[in-house]
Amino acid sequence: MELFNHSLLQGTIMKRFTSLVWIASLLLICFSVSSAQSVYYVNAVTGNNITGNGSIGSPFKTITKALSISAAVGDSIKVAAGTYNKALGETFPIVMLTGRKLIGTAGAVTTIIDATGSKNRVFNCSGNSNTTIIQGFTITGGFANDTTSGGVTSKGGGLLIDNNSQTIIQQNIITKDTARGYDFYQAGLGALNGGSCYGGGIYIAGASPTIRNNIISFNVAMGGGGQDYRGGFSGNGSAGGNADGGGIHAAFGGATTIFNNTFYGNKAVGGLGGSSNSLNAGSGGNAVSGALDAGSNAIVKNNIFSNNSAVAGPAGGGLNGSNGTSTDGAVTSFSASNLSNNLYFNNTAGSNPNGGTLGSNNLLTDPLFVSSTNFHLQSNSPARKAGTATDAPVIDFDGITRTNPPAIGAFDGSGSTSVEGLNINAPKEFALEQNYPNPFNPSTVISYQLPVTNHVSLKVYDAIGREVATLVNEVKEAGYYSATFDGSKLSSGMYFAKLSSEGKSQIRKLLLMK
């Protein structure tokens, strides 16, 4: 009987133990499911942030919403073609979470994140791991303009990457983003000089991101204007703000990897010096690194730098003021060993139009793009197979496997059928921009854009309608252009710039003050 009871007790214990193991297994499975990586879908047209659950059949409407729901490192957010902007409900800057993969599934050309009107940059990437990815977007309309106090520098119009971030930025079009130094009248108490700015497209500090296979174009870092003394006030004009890194500023710490990008049309522009009608005019701000300030740690290989510029800020109106300086139209770097196999063409600056330190195995020639707005390479481009394969990305902007050795730039060839002939940066409208600076002395830059190839004229007239200068009179491809008007031989007063093409015209007022 005692033996029987003992056996019964052992059986009961074993059953209870088996039950506990089974329960523990269920809990472990539940925990694993709850912490599993998720995929969320976003669609600007069919999505809904209130009723959607982020599934492919019930997507969210905004990227901001998807990121707010994502709970686990390793989550993917797949974004459909469309425009994601303030009107849709996006909140800028978008704060990128570590370990998330943000993917534009249709590619950068049709998946647009536009911060226009928000007066903020597009992305903040702080403390992100090296599994964090932003891929397949046009990142545009970002604006960084810090006016909190005198001496503060505005940083990163498109993206700000800091705090040891290792974010991967790939296969994007980063275009028309601006870092703008404050003008004196915007600034906090005690400010006199115009504010400085770093990184029109991207600002990187104390971080080690990977920037590869991107088109980085038409971004601007522009210094702010200095203090004026006019209208009976007595004092010297103050200096304009400095500008550094029209495309990317990566000079402060970290070890950024910058491979196989195409930099085109980026600008660093010094600020306008303050004017004085009684004492001395303020000096113009300095400009450096039209495309990229790489500092000493960035590794820069297989990139095309074309049509970038550093533009000195002009002195204010009055006596004795001096223009700022401009240097390194393409690249500033302090370590030649970190630069190789880059192509430089048609970059401009007062000194070192390409840069003072260019590294090795570079090309100084026309890359032969398909057109000024399509950065695929013609079949006879010197950039084809001119790159180094060491650490180069396996695929190009289009997702096509690169040759060995790879081409220099974002594209490895003429492109696939689906994107051939693409005008990535073609303007959508005919427009004459306001000249900068204005007022000016003695010269000013007039920018304009053409949506189609056509004959165009840009002329300047005085106040009574006499033509004083013809700046442009020729056929131009669709694109963005600028011309310099020199008024050194003209009297102070109001002038008028007129842009004409295909029966259309626009006029802007120019004020010359000596």
Structural contact between residues 166 and 208, judged by C-beta atoms closer than 8 angstroms: yes
In whole angstroms, give the CA distance from residue 479 to residue 448: 9
Query: What mean pLDDT is reported for the chain?
Result: 86
AA identity, residue 12: T
pLDDT, tens digit (0-9, with 9 covering 90-100), for 231-264: 545 567 788 889 999 999 997 877 899 999 999 9
* Rounded-to-integer distance, Cα 204 and Cα 131, Å: 18
For residue 218, pLDDT over 70 is answered with: yes
Is the pLDDT assigned to residue 26 strictly greater than 90? no
Whether 419 shows a pLDDT value over 60: the answer reads no
| Average pLDDT estimate for 163-172 | 97
What is residue 34's predicted lDDT score, i.e. its pLDDT?
39
488: how many CB neighbours lie within 10 A of its CB? 9
Q: Which of 24-38, 45-59, 74-88, 463-477 has the lowest mean pLDDT?
A: 24-38
What one-character DSSP code corresponds to residue 351? B
What whole-number distance in Å separates Cα of residue 411 and Cα of residue 479?
20
Mean pLDDT of the 25-50 span: 72
- pLDDT value for 208: 95
C-alpha 5/C-alpha 200 separation (Å) is 83
Helix (H, G, I), strand (E, B) or coil at 67: helix
Q: How confident is the model at residue 187 (pLDDT cuts 50, 70, 90)?
A: low
Say how many residues make up the chain. Answer: 514
Instruction: Supply the pLDDT for residue 272.
Output: 84
Residue 3, Cβ neighbours under 10 Å: how many? 7
Q: How far apart are CA 339 and CA 301, in angstroms?
A: 6
Distance separating alpha carbons of residues 65 and 85, to the nearest angstrom:
13
pTM (2 decimals)? 0.81
What is the pLDDT at residue 149? 67
The answer on pLDDT for 24 being more than 80 is: no
In SS3 terms, 249-281 reads as EEEECCCCEEECCEEECCEEECCCCCCECCCEC
For residues 136 and 119, what is the distance between their CA atoms, to the nearest angstrom? 23
Beta strand spans in 158-256 (E): 159-162, 168-170, 173-175, 178-180, 197-198, 202-205, 210-212, 215-217, 220-222, 243-244, 248-252
What pLDDT digit, counting tens, does each position of 461-486 carry? 999 999 999 999 988 877 778 888 99
Taking the C-alpha atoms of residue 93 and residue 100, their distance in angstroms, rounded to an integer, is 16
pLDDT band with cut points at 50, 70 and 90 for residue 193: confident
SS (H, E, C) 456-477: EEEEEECCCCCEEEEEEEEEEC
175 pLDDT above the threshold of 80 = yes
Rounded mean pLDDT of 141-167?
Answer: 90
Q: Domain coordinates of the chain in residue numbers?
A: 1-36, 121-377, 431-512
Cβ-in-10-Å burial (0-12, 13-18, 19+) of 386 comes to buried
Domain 431-512 has CATH 2.60.120.1140: no
Q: Quick check: 33 pLDDT over 70? A: no
